[in-house]
Structure 1
Amino acid sequence: MRKEQNNKTIQFTKVISVLILMLFLTNCKSAKSVIASGEASNNLSAKQVIKQHQKNDAYFKTMQARVRIDLIQGDKEQGLTFSFRMEKDKVIWLSAPLGLARMMITPENVRFYNKQDNEYFDGDYALLSDFVGIDLDFNKVQNILLGQAVFGLKDQPHTVSVNENSYALQPKNQSTLLELFYLINPSHFKMDSLQLTQQLKKRILQVDYKSYQDVDKQVLPKDVRIIAVDNADEVAINLEFKSVSLNQELRFPFNIPEGYKEIVIK
């Protein structure tokens, strides 16, 4: 089992590495940064925090950006700025410079290909899920990218407390298999941090939102750090969203070239 998980992690890391074949740095005009000036109050209940968090979910049809990704694994670090497109609730699309590699995520599947090794993957969310340590689907991936809670907050009662000027939100009855914590920002009620721990499997997923930006009156993440720990193995991914624009007409071209070898994850 451990060997299978390592294989999936290696394959996912390989995909990211392929996306980082060449640096494509751009000097783009950035959106206005959101200054967090609110103060967390002990007077707000968990239901009130949840209501504000859901109220401030971003509403748009499409999103386009340049995204800088840095992958850190041990003493190795690689980085690339590439194209990012999203049609909310339908598709997330990434493209490396010159089309050297592309990834497209839909509610049904995860697909990618790279031209360096003439390989492609066309499958489900098992690859991404094993990489981050939780069962993922399209909505969870989208919510992580938009600074929203990954699980339904109304599905069960939560408790809230103030932790270093964030609202610390957690299920009232934590699962013994999966411990979940959210830190909610008191200014715009988006996530400051998401923390998931699987004690038995010694796996941790932490997503820290370093800063947000205001794009057409929508509060969207600007700098995000994702840390996935599996026993002693740790991988960190830094995301920086630049030149974000909303509600433009977008295309999502994706065709796996003929003759490519399929990556099969067993």
Structure 2
Amino acid sequence: MKTLKLSIVIFLVCLATSCKSARTIANSGEIDSGFSAKQLIKENSKQDAKFKTLQARVKIDFIQDLKEQGYTVNLRMERDKTIWINATLGLARAMITPDEVSFYDKINNQYFKGDYTLLSNLLGVELNFKKVQSLLLGESLFNLKDEKYIASTNDKSYILQPKDQTAILELFLLLNPSHFKIDSQQLLQPLKKRFLQVDYLSYQDVDKEILPKDIKIMAVEENEEVIIAMEYKSVSLNEEVRFPFKIPSGFKEIILDDAQ
């Protein structure tokens, strides 16, 4: 079951974005120590994705236990509605909607259909479609207008953190001074010995959209560590897309008990 959980985590973090004919954004912005948390949140929200559809090929490098594997996948997205991913030769396919998480695996002849409970347990935070999408687009996992934040800086980024951090979950967001998108979001759960860090190493500007170009994800739980790097090879925005998804007959359903 641990292998299954890991495969779902990989599925989540592999759904990222980029754009065709993109211009990489130089990190030339300067830190203004006078910016308040409210101002930073306002500037960040201006950069939220506005595209209708996206499709891309994404190169993924996955490292666990010092073993590295590489994949190339096709990604399609209709913002706020559907995220679809297809592995090479159709060996695996997955689809996320606001109501359901589904995938099938032709190598092991198995499939899964369910809600977000398992994914929420894996990351230790309550997930829904909006939160997953935001994470993949370089946007905050949490709505920054829901509570009060305090602002600080380091040498390269603005730092936002909730005014009242908790022992259950600590959150840190680093914002880029060039465009106010997220440089890194870090979630620490000390009691569960979990740590998730998503670094947006570079961004690109395409059709006035600022979207991630290179992403590095590190997930740690106790003594287990997974590192995933993503590079976006070709992407187009606002074209017609389809989301074919049909579970092959004869596949065995993956049933998860309450303990997972």
TM-score, L = length of structure 2: 0.91
Q: Which residue of 2 aligns with 1:25?
A: none
Q: Is 1:10 equivalent to 2:7 in the alignment? A: no
Q: Is 1:236 equivalent to 2:211 in the alignment? A: no
RMSD: 1.8
The aligned amino acid for 1:66 is R
Q: CA deviation at 1:256?
A: 0.4
The aligned amino acid for 2:217 is I
Q: Which runs of 5+ in 2 are unaligned?
A: 12-18
Q: CA deviation at 1:245?
A: 1.1
Q: Which residue of 2 aligns with 1:3?
A: none
Q: Which residue of 2 aligns with 1:169?
A: 160
1:183 to 174, 193, 196: 174
Say if 1:31 and 1:243, in contact at 8 Å, map to a contact too. Answer: no
Q: CA deviation at 1:17?
A: 8.3
Q: Is 1:76 equivalent to 2:67 in the alignment? A: yes
Aligned in 2, Cα 1:126/1:79: closer, same or farther, shift over 3 Å? farther
The aligned amino acid for 1:11 is L
CA distance, structure 1, for counterparts of residue 196 and residue 29 of structure 2: 27
Q: CA deviation at 1:133?
A: 3.4
Aligned in 2, Cα 1:202/1:15: closer, same or farther, shift over 3 Å? closer
Q: Which runs of 5+ in 1 are unaligned?
A: 1-6, 19-27
TM-score, L = length of structure 1: 0.89
Say if 1:215 and 1:244, in contact at 8 Å, map to a contact too. Answer: no
Say if 2:28 and 2:178, in contact at 8 Å, map to a contact too. Answer: yes
Q: Is 1:33 equivalent to 2:24 in the alignment? A: yes
Aligned in 2, Cα 1:13/1:85: closer, same or farther, shift over 3 Å? same
Q: CA deviation at 1:128?
A: 2.6
CA distance, structure 2, for counterparts of residue 119 and residue 198 of structure 1: 32
Q: CA deviation at 1:200?
A: 0.7
- Counting only pairs closer than 5 Å after superposition, residues 1-266 of structure 1 correspond to structure 2 as 7=1, 9-14=2-7, 31-266=22-257
The aligned amino acid for 2:33 is N
SS at match of 2:191: coil
CA distance, structure 2, for counterparts of residue 151 and residue 197 of structure 1: 14
CA distance, structure 2, for counterparts of residue 55 and residue 16 of structure 1: 29
The aligned amino acid for 2:126 is D
Say if 1:185 and 1:192, in contact at 8 Å, map to a contact too. Answer: yes
The count of residues paired between Structure 1 and Structure 2 equals 250
The aligned amino acid for 2:249 is E
SS at match of 2:40: helix
Aligned in 2, Cα 1:128/1:251: closer, same or farther, shift over 3 Å? same
CA distance, structure 1, for counterparts of residue 216 and residue 193 of structure 2: 20
Say if 1:17 and 1:78, in contact at 8 Å, map to a contact too. Answer: no
Greater shift, 134-143 or 167-176, is seen at: 134-143
The aligned amino acid for 1:201 is K
CA distance, structure 2, for counterparts of residue 48 and residue 15 of structure 1: 36
Q: Which residue of 1 aligns with 2:14?
A: none
Aligned in 2, Cα 1:29/1:169: closer, same or farther, shift over 3 Å? closer
Say if 1:160 and 1:169, in contact at 8 Å, map to a contact too. Answer: yes
The aligned amino acid for 1:138 is F
The aligned amino acid for 1:171 is P
Identity across matched positions, percent:
58
Q: Deviations over 1:52-97 (max 9, x none)?
A: 0001111010011111122211111111111001000001000012
